[in-house]
Amino acid sequence: MNAVFYLLAVLTIGGGLAAVLLKHLVHCALATTVAFSGLALLYLQLDAQFAGFAQILVYIGAVAILIVFAILLTRGSDLPQDGVFSRSWSVGFVIAAGVFAVLAWAVMQSVRAVPQQTAVPAVTVHDIGNALVGRYVLPLEIVALLLTAATIGAVIVAMHENGRPK
Amino acid sequence: MQESAAFTPQFAASAITGILWLIPAVPMAASGVIALLKQPRRKLAASLAIGSLSISLLLSLVAFCHVVAGWAHGAVVREVVDFTWFRFGSSAVDLGWVLDPLAAIMMLMVSFVGLLIFIYSVGYMAHDENFTRFFCFLSLFAGAMLGVVISNSLLLLFMCWEIVGLTSYLLIGFWYQKPSAAAAAKKAFITTRVGDVFFLLGIVWLFAQTGTLLFYNHGVGSLEGLALVNLLAQHAGLGLSAAGAIGLLIFAGAVGKSGQLPLHVWLPDAMEGPTPVSALIHAATMVAAGVYLVARVYPLMQIGAAPHGTTVALTVVTWVGAYTAVFAALIAVAQNDIKRILAYSTISQLGYMMAGLGLGGVAVGMFHLITHAFFKALLFMGAGSVIHGSHEEQDIRRMGGLKADMPLTFITYAIGMLALCGFPLLFSGFWSKDGILEAAQHWDISKVPFYLLVFGALLTAFYMTRQVCYVFFGHARGHGSAHESPRVMTLPLAILAFFAIALGVIGTPAWPWFRAFLENRATSFSWHGFTEPGLGLLMLLSSLVVFLGLGLGWRLYGNKSPKPEAPDALERSAPWLWVPLRDRLYVDEIYGVTVIAFYAWWARVADWLDRRIWGGIVAAVAWLFGLWARFNRFLDVNWVDGGFDKTCEEFSSGGGLLSSVEGGRVQNYLRILAAAVVALVAILLWSSRP
Amino acid sequence: MTGMTTPLAGYLLVAALLFAIGLAGALVRRNAILVLIGIELMLNAANLNLIAFWRYGPRPELLTGMMFAIFSIAVAAAEAAVGLGLVIAIHRHTNTTELDKINRLKG
């Protein structure tokens, strides 16, 4: 499994890097999609099948499309004159590197504290469904509300003035 | 002559002595009231002045009669009233007044002559616009002079003395718009001040030695027994006892006031004042105050003398008097201003008085003072009448022939002139001057004063004849015709002329009443007085001298009326003599070169000091302050203001700096967030290391 | 599944790296949409962490990690929608999507 893991890791990380570093916005969106898919495969490898497929459906199927639409609507295909990176880009990279360093340090420190290998959990969709309406019914309802609100909000925000939808 | 009786003082103050203080106080009060009057109220001012002096005359008369009554009963009259002015520590300063024969005679003379001159002034100053002010000062003078006379305390005498000097200054400079008058007033004041400095020293010394300034104080006064003996016992160097030294210091004050030799320069210039002023102050009373002062402190000067000898102090007095007499008489010969001749004559006669005091005692000097007061006042007032009648002309070379135009003035003037010359037998001046000559003849120290005084008598006759010839004889050389003066002016002349003759009676050797009165002895009329050895010869000699002077004068000036521009007869014959005499023997010039030049130099030095040194210091301090102010301003502008401004700028820019945090740029916020999280987590992890 | 299994740390490191990359993108790129992409990457990294911990955790049958991740996906999607809507609205107003130019909230 190591090799698969490394492959998937490279895919994901590479997608992420590409998403951040490429110049054309559309290329970035596509690279993001690649990163999403890599992640979905990683979920599958982690025996979280539901999460993996949910990832594909939602992220690649909806979020990535949304991003592309947004790029289209904001004419993101035009390249800005001054370059795609802000003027103080090195500061951002340094901070990001700092964040990675801290996280890595935390991980490496706790290596001994957490079991690194366990048996495969026997989880079915049936169980997930039961959990959703059983133990996690409240978050479920709230998320439903949230999604409703988000939908309405997104519509209103993106609407033209004078109340006319585009 | 009888010996003086035993000294039995009469202490009880009679009624008149109790109110004696009114005599000077009433004229002074009148002066104060007149000072508040407006100028047009002339009648009121004159009435107040004359009325107040009449009251003083009345009171003086009463006091005089009281003293005479006491004398007639053989008692020694000396009544005092003393009171304490203030105390300091254990000492006290007392003031008071005294009534004795000397004071009685003097105050009677002062108030009587003063009253006559007041009445005369009503006519003389009738055309002057400052009539009221004149009477205010005159009244003040009369009050102060009477204060000098009755004072029993040397301090009170000095205070009144100074007021007398002040009023003299005010009256000499009465027409102050004239620069010569103002200068003369200043000169008078300053010159008498020089004498007064020594006077004050004498007062202080006396007080220090005896602890009292009262003359007579029931035996413990400074002129009485114990104090005198103490003063005599102390030696003051130069062969003087303390008494003699103090006496000489006081005499220095008299030298200033009475115009004796070194300090006589102010008297001729004082003729700038109106003629009544010259008559009253500079002939009869104020200048006599010096003589009176010496008479008052005579015990101080006399103590220690052998029965027929004399003291150093009195010798000095005699010499000063004798030289002054001749000096002034010489200068009077060559003067051309009618009043100036009389002024020098006054100085000369004052010298006679001083010499009389030194040679023969109080009575001799005082008798001449009294007679001189009358005939000199008469002469001055006559001169005033002449000036008034000649339309303010004062140069005798421009007068003449007034005998016919002003007969009454002429007659009275002639009487006064003869009295001054000492015309034998009829006139009081003869008897008083002879008294002095007799005393000089018997002086043991030297006969020189005698010869000087005789020579002075010759000169006196000569210059007075010259003056009378110029003014009254010959023909008129002035402009305009002269007219006789009004009655208000000629009546006092007549009264004074009467006394110029009559007063001789009380001083003749046949009946030496004056001397007896002053010395508290009895006396009676007796022709045997004339049989004293040497007296007849002396009377003959003095008469001859007078006739010689009169004759010489008549010979040279007679009925001739030289033109004003022509040189004087004496000048023609002896110009080497004439010029220095006319130029007043250069005394003023000497002063100008020495004393005045020194003072001018000193004033320049003081001015230089003031401007350069003190002024420089002030300027330096001011410059330092300016420096300090500029420094402060620099601090203020640059540090305080600048600091404040800078702080505000920093705040602004700090605000600007801080506002850059709120850049409104989301990514910056994100960065800060991320960095903060990194920091926090790092801290957390670091603290929980195993 | 036998053989060498990947240790938990591996997944965690991948997640951390992805998170850092996402953060870098959010901090460095000018375009607002790319900031949102970076945020999505960060969220995904967190999801990966959750799943990894669920898998290697003590009681996977409780489904805690899985539920967390699923809810996270849902919320992230909603948030992406709203965010992109906002970007479009801003673009309509200011005609730009560059963050540097959208600083009307400047203090």
What residue spans define the domains of chain A?
Answer: 1-79, 122-166
The neighbours of chain A, by the rule of 3 or more Cβ pairs under 8 Å, are: B, C
Question: Is there a contact between B409 and B402 (Cβ–Cβ < 8 Å)?
Answer: yes
Q: A67 in contact with C at a CB cutoff of 8 Å? A: yes
Given a cut of 70, whether residue A162 has pLDDT beyond it is no
Given a cut of 70, whether residue B479 has pLDDT beyond it is no
Q: Comparing A59-63, B119-123, C42-46, which segment has the lowest mean pLDDT?
A: B119-123
Q: Percentage of residues in chain B with pLDDT exceeding 90?
A: 26
pLDDT in the model for residue B651: 86
Other CB atoms within 10 Å distance of the CB of residue B608 = 11
Which residue in A1, A71, A155 is closest to C4 by CB distance? A1
The mean pLDDT value for B558-587 works out to: 75
pLDDT in the model for residue B308: 66
pLDDT in the model for residue C101: 78
- The answer to whether the Cβ–Cβ distance between A98 and B681 falls below 8 Å is no
> Measured between beta carbons, which residues in chain B are less than 8 angstroms from residue A86?
667
Buried b (16+ CB within 10 A) or exposed e, B92-121: ebbbbbbbbbbbbbbbbbbbbbbbbbbbbb
Min CA distance, C103 vs chain A (Å)? 14
Q: Which amino acid, A26?
A: V
DSSP string, B609-641: IIIIIIHHHHHHHHHHHHHHHHHHHHIIIIIII
The neighbours of chain C, by the rule of 3 or more Cβ pairs under 8 Å, are: A, B
Q: What's chain B's average pLDDT?
A: 84
> Measured between beta carbons, which residues in chain B are less than 8 angstroms from residue C105?
662, 664
Min CA distance, C104 vs chain B (Å)? 6
pLDDT in the model for residue B1: 28
CA angle B667, B671, B677 (to 5 degrees): 145
Min CA distance, A83 vs chain B (Å)? 16
Q: Comparing A32-36, B331-335, B519-523, B624-628, which segment has the lowest mean pLDDT?
A: B519-523
The mean pLDDT value for A131-145 works out to: 92
Min CA distance, B645 vs chain C (Å)? 24
Q: A10 in contact with C at a CB cutoff of 8 Å? A: no
pLDDT in the model for residue A13: 95
Given a cut of 90, whether residue A87 has pLDDT beyond it is no
Other CB atoms within 10 Å distance of the CB of residue B401 = 19
Closest Cα in chain A to C84 = A70
- The answer to whether the Cβ–Cβ distance between B659 and C107 falls below 8 Å is yes
pLDDT in the model for residue B559: 74
- The answer to whether the Cβ–Cβ distance between B671 and A91 falls below 8 Å is yes
pLDDT in the model for residue A60: 94
The mean pLDDT value for B195-222 works out to: 83
Min CA distance, A44 vs chain C (Å)? 10
**Cα–Cα distance, B455 to B451 (Å, whole number):** 6
Structure-token pair, residue B133 = 């002010």
Query: For A52-64, what is each residue's pLDDT tens digit?
Result: 999 999 999 999 9
A140 Cβ neighbours under 8 A, 6+ residues apart: A132, A133
Highest mean pLDDT among B557-561, B614-618, B629-633: B629-633
**Cα–Cα distance, B189 to B268 (Å, whole number):** 13
Q: A96 in contact with B at a CB cutoff of 8 Å? A: yes
Given a cut of 60, whether residue B656 has pLDDT beyond it is yes
> Measured between beta carbons, which residues in chain A are less than 8 angstroms from residue B676?
none
Which residue in C41, C63, C78 is closest to A35 by CB distance? C41
Given a cut of 50, whether residue C1 has pLDDT beyond it is no
pLDDT in the model for residue A6: 92
What residue spans define the domains of chain C?
Answer: 10-94
Q: Comparing B56-70, B375-389, B449-463, B657-671, which segment has the lowest mean pLDDT?
A: B657-671
> Measured between beta carbons, which residues in chain A are less than 8 angstroms from residue C60?
118, 121, 123
Which CATH architecture is the domain A1-79 placed in?
A: Up-down Bundle (1.20)
Mutation for testing the B interface, residue in A90, A95, A110 having most B CBs under 10 Å: A95
More confident call, B50 vs B309 = B50
**Cα–Cα distance, B567 to B605 (Å, whole number):** 45
Given a cut of 50, whether residue B513 has pLDDT beyond it is yes
DSSP string, B394-433: -BGGG---HHHH-HHHHHHHHHHHHHHHT-TTTSHHHHHH
Q: C16 in contact with B at a CB cutoff of 8 Å? A: no
> Measured between beta carbons, which residues in chain C are less than 8 angstroms from residue A61?
none
- The answer to whether the Cβ–Cβ distance between C30 and A66 falls below 8 Å is no
How many residues can be counted in chain B? 690
Closest Cα in chain C to B670 = C27
With 0.90 as the threshold, say if the pTM is over it: no
- The answer to whether the Cβ–Cβ distance between A70 and C87 falls below 8 Å is yes
Question: Is there a contact between B553 and B463 (Cβ–Cβ < 8 Å)?
Answer: yes
Given a cut of 50, whether residue B6 has pLDDT beyond it is no
Closest Cα in chain C to A147 = C78
Given a cut of 50, whether residue A105 has pLDDT beyond it is yes
pLDDT in the model for residue A63: 94
Question: B437-440 long-range CB contacts below 8 Å, 24 or more apart?
Answer: B437/B538, B437/B542, B438/B360, B438/B534, B438/B535, B438/B538, B439/B356, B439/B359, B439/B360, B439/B361, B439/B364, B440/B322, B440/B355, B440/B359, B440/B360
pLDDT in the model for residue C4: 54
Question: Is there a contact between B397 and B325 (Cβ–Cβ < 8 Å)?
Answer: no
Closest CA to B409 of B50, B112, B120: B120
Structure-token pair, residue B388 = 């008034």
**Cα–Cα distance, A65 to A38 (Å, whole number):** 17
C58 Cβ neighbours under 8 A, 6+ residues apart: none
> Measured between beta carbons, which residues in chain C are less than 8 angstroms from residue B665?
99-100, 102-103, 106
Which CATH architecture is the domain C10-94 placed in?
A: Orthogonal Bundle (1.10)
Site of tokens 């200043």: B186
Question: Is there a contact between B545 and B309 (Cβ–Cβ < 8 Å)?
Answer: no
- The answer to whether the Cβ–Cβ distance between C105 and B662 falls below 8 Å is yes
> Measured between beta carbons, which residues in chain C are less than 8 angstroms from residue B663?
103, 106-107
CA angle B640, B644, B649 (to 5 degrees): 145
Site of tokens 């916005």: A25
Q: Percentage of residues in chain A with pLDDT exceeding 90?
A: 51
**Cα–Cα distance, B176 to B170 (Å, whole number):** 9
The mean pLDDT value for B246-273 works out to: 88
Closest Cα in chain B to C107 = B662
- The answer to whether the Cβ–Cβ distance between B664 and C99 falls below 8 Å is no
Closest Cα in chain C to B668 = C27
Site of tokens 């790296």: C17
> Measured between beta carbons, which residues in chain C are less than 8 angstroms from residue B666?
35, 99, 102
Which residue in B671, B685, B690 is closest to A102 by CB distance? B685
**Cα–Cα distance, C79 to A91 (Å, whole number):** 27
- The answer to whether the Cβ–Cβ distance between C55 and A118 falls below 8 Å is yes
- The answer to whether the Cβ–Cβ distance between B666 and C104 falls below 8 Å is no
Q: Which amino acid, B123?
A: G
- The answer to whether the Cβ–Cβ distance between C99 and B667 falls below 8 Å is yes
The mean pLDDT value for B618-645 works out to: 89
One-letter-per-residue 3-state SS of A105-155: HHHHHCCCCCCCCCCCCCCCHHHHHHHHHCCCHHHHHHHHHHHHHHHHHHH
Which residue in A32, A43, A89 is closest to C28 by CB distance? A89
More confident call, A80 vs C99 = C99
The mean pLDDT value for B345-366 works out to: 90
Min CA distance, B662 vs chain A (Å)? 17
Question: Is there a contact between B128 and B245 (Cβ–Cβ < 8 Å)?
Answer: no
> Measured between beta carbons, which residues in chain C are less than 8 angstroms from residue B667?
26-27, 35, 99-100
Confidence band, pLDDT 50/70/90 cuts, at residue B529: low
Question: Is there a contact between B379 and B417 (Cβ–Cβ < 8 Å)?
Answer: yes
ipTM for this model: 0.89
- The answer to whether the Cβ–Cβ distance between B671 and A99 falls below 8 Å is no
pLDDT in the model for residue A81: 65
Which H or E element spans position B9?
A: none
Min CA distance, A106 vs chain B (Å)? 7
The neighbours of chain B, by the rule of 3 or more Cβ pairs under 8 Å, are: A, C
Structure-token pair, residue B73 = 């009963």
Which residue in B663, B667, B674 is closest to C106 by CB distance? B663
Distances C11 to A10, A39, B292 between C-alpha atoms, Å: 12, 11, 143
Given a cut of 50, whether residue B7 has pLDDT beyond it is no
